[in-house]
């Protein structure tokens, strides 16, 4: 089985690691365009063009499914990607895990990029899935870029600033950008002092990986745990900053 993932940068690592946990034999194609980051401030048309470029490069490797491992791309480009690639290639988008977070009943904070925070898309998800839970949208300027570049000082500053804007008593934090899942432990540590003792973090990697495996056209096809990395369609390797995150480990380890 071969599954492709696309993102602006290394935010796709979390979903890729989740896939390897579920299917250790899966062949992975990681298609991104880090030179074009950040995508958040770009127009929907620009995001769609960039996403299509990454998706087409991945599709050339004939995967069984494509994960759009990027919230911004899912907001602006998912319809265009599906129109071009489906039904031959199932396309799975990434949606913030608002529904399971709200189902716990306590106050919810959604950490997302400034472009996503307050957007009609996110407000629609809150309206449809938050129920009666109190929801606070928390913009996290600079956090995705800091994670991408492994800038420890910038990560610490961005997380601290967002934590300060997260209301005391928050019961659940929704990680509304795939990059944030790579620093989930730091986010938890920053929010926990003012949160409920039962604070939970909700990422999208695990449910997206499970959905991709459900959508593949031939689930019996076996893989050999290969890893293909593409930057703007050109063969590449995982950057050193990616290797600093634990989610990269199962991608580079040989299959047992």
Closest residue by Cα to residue 189 from 206, 166, 223: 166
Q: Which residue among the candidates 13, 30, 70, 101 is catalytic per the annotation? A: 70
- Rounded Cα distance, 120 and 126, in Å: 10
Question: In angstroms, what CA-CA distances link 179 with 39, 204, 253?
Answer: 12, 11, 21
In degrees, rounded to 5, the angle at the alpha carbon of residue 239 between the alpha carbons of residues 46 and 250 is: 110
For residue 177, indicate whether it is catalytic: yes
Residues recorded for the chain: 256
- 186-194 contacts at long range (C-beta below 8 A, 24 or more positions apart): 186/155, 186/156, 186/159, 187/111, 187/159, 187/162, 187/163, 190/159, 190/160, 190/162, 190/163, 191/109, 191/163, 191/166, 194/163, 194/166, 194/167, 194/168, 194/169, 194/170
61 contacts: CB under 8 Å, gap ≥ 6: 2, 4, 29, 228
Q: Which residue among the candidates 177, 199, 248, 251 is catalytic per the annotation? A: 177
For residue 140, indicate whether it is catalytic: no
- Please list the active-site residues: 70, 177
């Amino acid at each position: 089985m071969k599954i492709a993932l696309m993102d602006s940068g290394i935010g796709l690592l979390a979903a890729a690691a989740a896939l390897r946990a579920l299917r250790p034999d899966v062949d992975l194609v990681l298609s991104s365009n880090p030179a074009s980051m950040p995508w958040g401030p770009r127009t929907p048309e620009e995001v769609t063009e960039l996403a299509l470029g990454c998706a087409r490069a991945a599709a050339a490797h004939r995967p069984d499914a494509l994960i759009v491992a990027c919230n911004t791309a899912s907001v602006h480009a998912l319809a265009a990607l599906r129109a071009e690639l489906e039904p031959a290639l199932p396309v799975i988008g990434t949606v913030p895990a608002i529904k399971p977070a709200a189902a716990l009943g306590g106050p919810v904070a959604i950490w997302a990029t400034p472009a996503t925070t307050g957007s009609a898309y996110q407000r629609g998800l809150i309206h449809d899935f938050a129920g009666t839970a109190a929801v606070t949208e928390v913009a996290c300027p600079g956090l995705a870029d800091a994670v991408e570049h492994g800038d420890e000082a910038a990560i610490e500053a961005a997380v601290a600033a967002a934590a300060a804007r997260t209301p005391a008593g928050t019961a659940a934090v929704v990680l509304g950008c795939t990059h944030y899942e790579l620093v989930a432990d730091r986010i938890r540590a920053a929010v926990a002092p003012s949160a409920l003792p039962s604070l939970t973090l909700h990422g999208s990697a695990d449910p997206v990986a499970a959905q991709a495996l459900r959508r593949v056209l031939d689930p019996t096809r076996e893989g050999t745990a290969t890893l293909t990395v593409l930057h703007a369609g050109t063969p590449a390797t995982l950057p050193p900053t990616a290797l600093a995150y634990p989610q990269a480990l199962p991608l580079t380890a040989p299959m047992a």
